[in-house]
Each structure stands twice: as C-alpha cells, then as structure tokens.
Amino acid sequence: MATKDGKLFHARDSRAVLREIFNQRDSNLEFLSLAELDIVDARSTGLCHKREETLAFNLAGPASVFVDGAEYKMEHYDVLYIPKGAEYVVEAGPEPAHLYLYRAQAKNVHPVQLRRWKELKDDPSRIRLLTRKKVHLMFDVAEQADKFMAGYTFYEDRARAWPPHNHTDQEECYSFIEGSGAMQVYEDDEKLTFVKGVEVGSHVTIPLLNYHPVFSHEEPLCFIWCIAGERYWVGDKNKSFMDGTAKKVTT
C-alpha cells in the first residue's frame, strides 16, 4: 500500500462552517432552533436530526442538498423541507452559499419538499398584501410537516406592522435578511421593554403570547418568519388582521 502525504489545514481557511444561533436552552422557545451554514467550494459533513424536522432557506449562491442520497438543487430564496431522521449533506461550488437551517421537534416523518422562489414569488395564492407590506407563504399549510410554516415578508420604507398580534399556539423566529429597522417583543403595553434595532443577520425569537411588531425606517427590509406550532397564518385565520380594523389580534 502506497504511503500518502500529510496535509496542513487552518481553521481560518474552513470552507464549510456550521454555527448554532440558538436552541431551546437559551431562546425561551419550546420547539424551535436555528443554525446557519456558510459553504463555498466544499461539501459538508453529513447532518442528521433524529427528533427534529428541518427547514432550510438558501440566501446566497446555488447549493445542492443531498437528502438520503437524493439531490435537491437550491437557488437564492429557495426553501427545502428535510424530515426528521434523514441524513443530509450540503455542497456548493465557487460561489458561496449561505443557508439558515431551522429545526423543530417532530413526531412524524414527512416527504422531502423543495419550494422554489422563482415558481412561487408571483403566485397570487401564496401572496398576502398588507399596507406597504407583502407576505410570501413559502411553506404553507398545504405542505406536509408537523409544526413548520414559513415565508418572507417584504416591507416598504417607513412601514410598520399593524395591528399588533400575538399567538397562543405558535412560537416564531424573525430572521432579517435585507435592510434594517426595529422590532418590539412584549407581553402588554405596560411591559413594552424589548425595543431593538435589527439588521441583516439579526434573529429575534418570539415566545407564546408576545406581540411582535416590526418597523422599517429609511429603507425597505425583508425578514424570514418561521413558525413552530399550529399551522396557520394569522391573516388567513383572522380577517381583521388583513383589513386593519382591530387594534390588536390574538390567535
């Protein structure tokens, strides 16, 4: 057997970096966790979550995700559902890929599902129009999952969420991916103490029963909303959220 040469590697030269952003230990959430994967000209190690389903968002260059050996090619803003217990590997070429990997505890195994941005972004059945805002339902109730629903919300400049709403049966994360603004998370008006500036790379966890309005300033902004819990979108369940007639909405 021929002897092979050793090779030198430095952590600073890593081409596939996985970071845990939050999990149940420190997020005040019961079900939802989030990691991010930066990868360029590399193939990741195999990942597998025995008790969690995964929802992957690709926010940069093209990537291939191999789930139990089957390849799913993801472009910018595509979303891929990976069932619990499935092993997956991510591969990217010379253009960097950047993925957010949301995980939620699950009991059942569902099929792999790829939702392509270019196919859904102009689909009226997937779009909800609010005042100076547009919501895209990328992973809706029609998709199979235990707890996940998710999509994108685009704000014009100088817009705000109205009416404020909270949930009795859904926890959420907002991940900001374009622009900058501000966000509040609070139980009631008297306890409105969480007021934070948000920018690209900010993630805000939203435990049950917290109102969570977002505000854009001088520029548009966009964020991912990812739900773990009962599977509905607030505006489809409560029509007063869509027409703005209620001062507050609880679902």
How do the domains of the chain map onto residue ranges? 14-115, 117-250
Domain 117-250 class in CATH: mainly beta
Q: How far apart are alpha carbons 111 and 188 in whole angstroms?
A: 40
The answer to whether 152 and 188 have CB atoms below 8 angstroms apart is: no
Q: Are 150 and 100 in contact (CB under 8 A)?
A: no
Contacts of 81 (CB under 8 A, 6+ apart): 53, 54, 55, 56, 110, 111, 112, 113, 114, 115, 139, 143, 144, 145, 148
Question: What is the spatial distance between Cα 25 and Cα 142, in angstroms, rounded to a whole number?
Answer: 31
Q: What is the reported pTM?
A: 0.95
pLDDT at site 246:
80
> pLDDT tens digits for 26-71?
999 999 999 999 999 999 999 999 999 999 999 999 999 999 999 9
pLDDT in tens, 118-152: 999 999 999 999 999 999 999 999 999 999 999 99
When the pLDDT of each residue in the chain is averaged and rounded to a whole number, the result is: 95
**In this predicted model, what pLDDT tens digit does every residue of 68-96 receive, in sequence order?**
999 999 999 999 999 999 999 999 999 99
Question: How do 63-67 and 70-74 pair as beta strands?
Answer: antiparallel
Q: Say how far apart CA 71 and CA 196 lie, in whole Å.
A: 39
Q: Are 251 and 165 in contact (CB under 8 A)?
A: yes
Tokens 């993801």 belong to residue:
74
Q: Is there a common fold for 14-115 and 117-250?
A: yes
Write out the DSSP string of 220-242.
-EEEEEEEEES---HHHH-HHHH
Per-residue buried b or exposed e for 89-114, using 16+ beta carbons within 10 Å of the residue's own CB: bbbbeeeebbbbbbbbbbeeebebbe
For the domain made up of 14-115, the CATH class stated in words is mainly beta
Length of the chain: 251
Contact 67, 82 (CB under 8 A): yes
